[in-house]
A and B are shown apart, each in its own frame.
Chain A
Amino acid sequence: MSATIVSLPDQSTARIPKMNYLSKENGLLSWLLTGDHKRIAILYLISITFFFFIGGALAGLIRLELLTPQSDLMATDTYNKVFTMHGVVMIFLFLVPSVPATLGNFFIPMMIGAKDLALPKVNLLSWYLYIIGGILVLVTMITGGVDTGWTFTTPLSTHYVNTNVLSTGLAVFIAGFSSIFTGLNFIVTIHKMRAPGMTWFRLPLFVWAHYAASILMVLGTPVLAIAIVLLALERTIGIGVFDPAKGGDPLLFQHLFWFYSHPAVYIMILPGMGVISEVISTFSRKRVFGYTAVAFSSVAIAVFGFFVWAHHMFIMGVSNYAVLVFSLLTMLVAVPSAIKIFNWTFTLYKGSITFETPMLYAFGFVGLFTIGGLTGVFLGTSGTDIHLTETYFIVAHFHFVMVGGMLMAFLSGIHFWWPKMTGRMYPEKISQLAAVVTFIGFNFTFFPQFILGTLGMPRRYASYPPEFQILNVFSTAGATILGVGYLLPVLYLTWSLKYGAIAGNNPWQATGLEWQTQSPPLTENFATMPIMDHEAYDYEWLEKQNQIQQKEVASVG
């Protein structure tokens, strides 16, 4: 790893620009009442990091319990609460907002050449709704938690538990609106606020990915909302829509719940895929192979993603014909994801590859998401799903795509855009170490779980047959390593805020509009409104710009 593309200004004379979005105004209120999409992104970044570590602590408790075959660390009811809250926090308070609310908020306006999102006040409202939802989840945890699993499966959640289903439901309902408003804002912005010359097919693929995810947010989340409303009515008044004794069908809840929650997984992964497109292009110095295919595949994932939800319900009592149809459709939805992997791979082919930290995470993503995605095909095939569902195979599958995939993409993006957001570089060596530690820790944690699942260990159980212990111990050991890998960035990124090298405008020599302005950016993003006159990922254009700049400096100096 000797080559690097990092191009920093002369550190002895470089300074953080005096006028930027961070220095513009001071004081708590200027942050809490801001309309600046960049400040809101930072607010989100801090909040989701906080909730990530709460979810992570809960994961630690799960892995601790599973060190031994007996349910001896905590009561089984408590264990149920722990994995439920882990799911709720990680999905609704971390994964769903992760890239969109931080990197999306920060960079979509900049990437399209706009001054802000279309609806800044709605953006701020989004954050407040997120915080209220998050606080409600914390209150729920403190007042006894909920133990139904994050999926609130009926009739367990309606008739057989007396834990805080309602408050968790309310928290998710509110957080859902946060998500809806973010997606709505993005769609309007991308349609209506592109700079002159910024046609749809000159947009960075990061923007396409967020556009697709936003469609899912806007159209899918309301169905979750109504599912929660009906769940609440069922629990409180006992209206009977999900109660077999009154003629209702518990599966109806599951249909409505999964109608959102399947697209939700695409809401979570698509923005990460957008990050990977940017990072792989930059660190192989090549335009993304098959731009149009990648752009359209993002939208295809969004569209097809709406038609496969019942593959989460194969064993729940849906009709055999429904199983057949949904299984076939699930095969279809894998195709656009695979197209992306092919295109990223071909982007790398004959590129000038360097291994800075964002690229390490991107490589991790490509490998681990491929494994996770392929195991999804086993689960989408109804025959094998009957054996594998509700086992650790499922747990491993979704952790591979979400943690090995999405979380790595998030870290990749944070590192990639850290210099732009803060004006400072993170320390490269320790961050590369953290990336490798994360990759190793991840595989140790979750690969054994595929084996456990195939051997039949059920999920959501605090105890298991003793012959599964060795693999569980491996998994917990891996989780410890993984924890270190996640802790390191918090430490060195915070360190870099004061001591990191000054980054300058474009340390990666990347082609996006956001890299053609100062780091950290001005509040209004650009001093003069850009006009887009070149294609996306146009490294020749960048080279020309650099030559023009050098001539200017030479002629002045």
Chain B
Amino acid sequence: MSENKEHALHIVGPRIYVIVFALLLLGTATTIWASYVDLGILNPIIALGIACSKATLVVLFFMHVKYATKLTKLTIFAGLFLFLALVSMTLSDYISRAWGSW
């Protein structure tokens, strides 16, 4: 009688965790450094990009999603998609207010 199928097949080991941990620390250092450099419009893009990469690492490896079922991946995607819809559609109102009447 086995536990969750994933565990029988994919126990993520310490080696991967250490690598991801190191990458996360590196990402943190990079994003702090980047905020002190004037890159114009790229600053927020880089900051968000690094944050998204770190989050992706945590999701895929710490949260085992790389080895998870399609359903889990679909669930996460649905949540992310709706979050993006909330943000972008609301922001679209605010940004387009400045465009004036027509």
Contacts and interface: CB of A to CB of B under 8 A. Distances in A.
Does A touch B (CB under 8 Å) in the complex?
yes
A255 B96 CA distance: 15
B78 interface: yes
Interface stretch (B8-16, B28-36, B42-50, B84-92): B84-92
A219 B89 contact: no
Contact of B90 (A191, A219, A255): A255
B85 A319 contact: no
A252 B93 CA distance: 10
A322 B82 contact: no
Contact of A322 (B78, B79, B92): B92
Contacts of B85: 306-307
Given A219-B82, A307-B89, A191 B96 contact: no
B102 A325 contact: no
Contact of A306 (B82, B93, B96, B101): B82
Nearest to B75: A187
B86 A310 contact: no
B101 A320 contact: yes
A318 interface: yes
Nearest to B92: A322
Contacts of B96: 319-322
B5 interface: no
A259 interface: yes
Contacts of A219: 78-79, 82
A195 interface: no
Contact of B93 (A215, A223, A307, A322): A322
Nearest to B82: A219
- Range class of the A interface residue count: 10 to 19
B93 A310 contact: yes
B71 interface: yes
Majority-rule SS of B interface residues? helix
Interface in A225-250: 249
Contact of A259 (B86, B97, B99): B86
B86 A319 contact: no
Interface in A424-475: none
Contacts of B97: 318-319
B92 to A, nearest CB: 6
A316 to B, nearest CB: 10
Nearest to A308: B89
Contacts of A319: 93-94, 96-97, 99
Contact of A321 (B71, B78, B90, B99): B99
A321 B86 contact: no
A325 B88 CA distance: 13
B92 A321 contact: yes
Interface string B50-91: 000000000000000000000100000011001001100110
A191 B78 CA distance: 15
Contacts of A251: 93
A219 B85 CA distance: 12
A259 B85 CA distance: 10
Interface in A309-365: 310, 318-322, 325
B86 A223 contact: yes
A191 B69 CA distance: 13
Nearest to B90: A255
Contacts of A321: 92-93, 96, 99
Nearest to B101: A320
A411 B94 CA distance: 43
B68 to A, nearest CB: 14
Nearest to A329: B89
A325 B85 CA distance: 13
A452 B56 CA distance: 55
Interface string A150-182: 000000000000000000000000000000000
Given A191-B71, A219-B79, A320 B90 contact: no
A219 B84 CA distance: 13
Nearest to A259: B86
In the complex, which of the residues A191, A215, A255 has the most CB atoms of chain B within 10 Å of its own CB atom?
A: A255
A255 B93 contact: yes
A318 B93 contact: yes
B40 to A, nearest CB: 25
A514 to B, nearest CB: 26
A314 to B, nearest CB: 11
A251 B90 CA distance: 10
A307 B88 CA distance: 11
Contacts of A325: 92
A237 B94 CA distance: 25
Contacts of B102: 320
Nearest to B102: A320
Contacts of B94: 249, 319
Nearest to B86: A259
B86 to A, nearest CB: 6
Given A219-B79, A249-B94, A320-B101, 5 more contacts: A306-B85, A321-B96, A322-B93, A322-B96, A325-B92
20 contacts: A219-B78, A219-B79, A219-B82, A223-B86, A255-B90, A259-B90, A306-B82, A306-B85, A310-B93, A319-B94, A319-B97, A319-B99, A320-B101, A321-B92, A321-B93, A321-B96, A321-B99, A322-B92, A322-B93, A322-B96
Interface of B: 71, 78-79, 82, 85-86, 89-90, 92-94, 96-97, 99, 101-102
Interface of A: 191, 215, 219, 223, 249, 251-252, 255, 259, 306-307, 310, 318-322, 325
Q: A-B pairs with the 8 shortest C-beta distances?
A: A321-B96, A322-B93, A319-B96, A319-B97, A318-B93, A255-B90, A219-B82, A319-B93
